[in-house]
Amino acid sequence: MKRGCHPRRRILVTGGAGFIGSHLCERLLAAGHDILCVDNFYTGSRDNIAHLLGHPRFELLRHDITFPLYVEVDEIYNLACPASPVHYQNDPVQTTKTSVHGSINMLGLARRTRAKILLASTSEVYGDPEVHPQREDYWGRVNPIGPRACYDEGKRCAETLFFDYHRQHALRIKVARIFNTYGPRMHPDDGRVVSNFIMQALTGTPITLYGDGGQTRSFCYVDDLVDGLIRLMDSPDACIGPVNLGNPEECSVRELAERILALTGSASALTFKPLPEDDPRQRCPDIALARQMLGWQPATGLEDGLARTIAYFRAACAAAPPESHQ
């Protein structure tokens, strides 16, 4: 059956009120499916899915996936987990439990309902890599006891669980390794580099760079990322992954700051602080597998994506009470 011609499905999106999850819910709903959005609102927001709440095929359930969930579904996108260092380091034990206990619960649900299930894993499984760009067959270089380990090792264990359920129970699984993603509905205080720089530029405060700003990242616009997730879910059962989803165009953090300053017209100065512990020096995906198996690659250039994201933050700042800009 051609892509886009699939029958109507009941789809569970955990973390569906989050940044990426809300865009995914919106896209799946537009494709004609019934969507069950599950979120405990630790980092997600009702504002992200407010425009979907009145839709007859959209249902919102407040629930923490570290506890079992008993529903009937055809597919599961497991996105639930805080993804920025500020949020996942705030309660590291809960972060690990969300990746591990949450995965066990969602895999159990998939096994009972015979649903296909996708894990939103992360490029952080590669740690501070010795291989560049990162390919899916690289096992990574992760500090298992550092401050980022709750997220890095939690996702690595989640991948282990997914593959063991596939081998032991013939479960239909998909594993996506998501690289840096940005766009509208990012949380302004999530500590991620794009949202940090945009908010600092718009408020005229100094833009904070860590180290000399020479560390590199790659930035994928959220619409492109969501397209990759859906293509992976809709791919043949033999296409399991893990599959890198990200933008292979590399950019230094300092260059990103300079681009945002130019696009906002801000006069914010650059300030420099020491690098955080275990902060990777390079992060860039090899997406040859995604191109080959999914026919996928990013379509949105950085300038265009940043302009859309800046417009979103400008509107959010204008609508917020003055004290919230402090």
| 151 is known as an active-site residue | yes
Q: Under a CB-based contact definition with an 8 Å cutoff, are residues 10 and 72 in contact?
A: yes
Q: Under a CB-based contact definition with an 8 Å cutoff, are residues 183 and 305 in contact?
A: yes
Q: Give the span between the Cα atoms of 158 and 105, in whole angstroms.
A: 11
Structure tokens that stand for 292 in this block:
């080959």
The SS3 assignment for 165 reads: helix
Q: Give the span between the Cα atoms of 147 and 102, in whole angstroms.
A: 21
Q: Under a CB-based contact definition with an 8 Å cutoff, are residues 232 and 118 in contact?
A: yes
Task: Please compute Rg for the chain using Cα positions.
Answer: 19
Alpha helix (H) residue ranges in 37-134: 46-49, 85-88, 92-113
Q: Give the span between the Cα atoms of 30 and 23, in whole angstroms.
A: 11
**Spacing of C-alpha 264 from chain mean position:** 25
- The helix (run of H) or strand (run of E) holding residue 250 is strand 250-252
Does residue 133 have a cis peptide bond before it, meaning omega lies within 30 degrees of 0?
A: yes
Q: Under a CB-based contact definition with an 8 Å cutoff, are residues 177 and 121 in contact?
A: yes
Catalytic residue among 151, 165, 182, 221: 151
Residues with catalytic function: 151
